[in-house]
């Protein structure tokens, strides 16, 4: 089992990243980037411990509070965007299944309606066929909500995971 070392990182007044391992006194270095500082701290650690090459290095990056807040906002925005993207993919897959299978529209017509390229609709249609083969045998119904829209949340979760795996 690999040893884990916490690496403290902070920027100096010249903009360099200063790295140290508090649990091993004397192990410190610097780098122009976080990546370079982490590579160099591993090299420095090899002078003090025998398992440095296999060790897990866990960076603890110290930033001014305003910068930490900005980074936090950016990461939260990325999470929200990723979630929205996943939801949009599921809605697109549902729409493609509804329009191509039950409404018998052509891929080109579906592409026009959804403002996608026909190639992208074709890719998503393949995902529909792989992930939801039961849709092909469903009877067409007019005026009813699609069977896809009636799926349980657990079925949606499984579909979502399968879509993520395929990508």
Return the pLDDT at 73.
97
Return the pLDDT at 121.
92
Which residues make beta-bridge pairs with 4?
Answer: 56
Residue 114 φ/ψ region, left for φ over 0, alpha for ψ in the -120 to 50 degree band, beta for the rest: alpha
- 154, containing H or E segment: helix 153-166
Return the pLDDT at 131.
67
Return the pLDDT at 101.
86
Return the pLDDT at 143.
41
**Cβ–Cβ < 8 Å for 16, 8:** no
Among 31, 57, 60, 30, which residue's Cα sits nearest to residue 42? 57
Residue 29: partners with Cβ closer than 8 Å, 6 or more residues away: 18, 19, 20, 37, 40, 41, 43, 44
Mean pLDDT by 10 residues, the chain (167 residues): 94 97 96 97 94 94 96 97 93 90 92 94 82 50 41 46 49
Distance CA 117, CA 139 (A): 27
Return the pLDDT at 141.
42
């Amino acid at each position: 089992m690999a040893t884990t070392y916490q690496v403290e990182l902070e920027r100096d007044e010249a903009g360099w990243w200063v790295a140290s391992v508090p649990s091993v006194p004397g192990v410190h270095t610097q780098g122009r980037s976080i990546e370079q500082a982490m590579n160099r701290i591993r090299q420095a650690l090899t002078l003090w411990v025998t398992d440095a090459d296999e060790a897990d290095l866990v960076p603890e990056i110290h930033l001014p509070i305003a910068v930490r807040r900005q980074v936090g906002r950016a990461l939260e925005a990325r999470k929200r965007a990723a979630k929205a993207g996943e939801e949009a993919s599921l809605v697109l897959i549902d729409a493609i299944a509804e329009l191509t299978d039950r409404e018998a529209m052509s891929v080109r017509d579906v592409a026009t309606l959804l403002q996608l390229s026909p190639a992208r609709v074709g890719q998503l249609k393949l995902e529909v066929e792989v992930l939801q083969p039961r849709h092909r045998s469903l009877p067409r119904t007019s005026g009813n909500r699609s069977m896809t829209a009636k799926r349980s949340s657990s079925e949606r979760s499984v579909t979502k995971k399968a879509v993520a795996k395929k990508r």
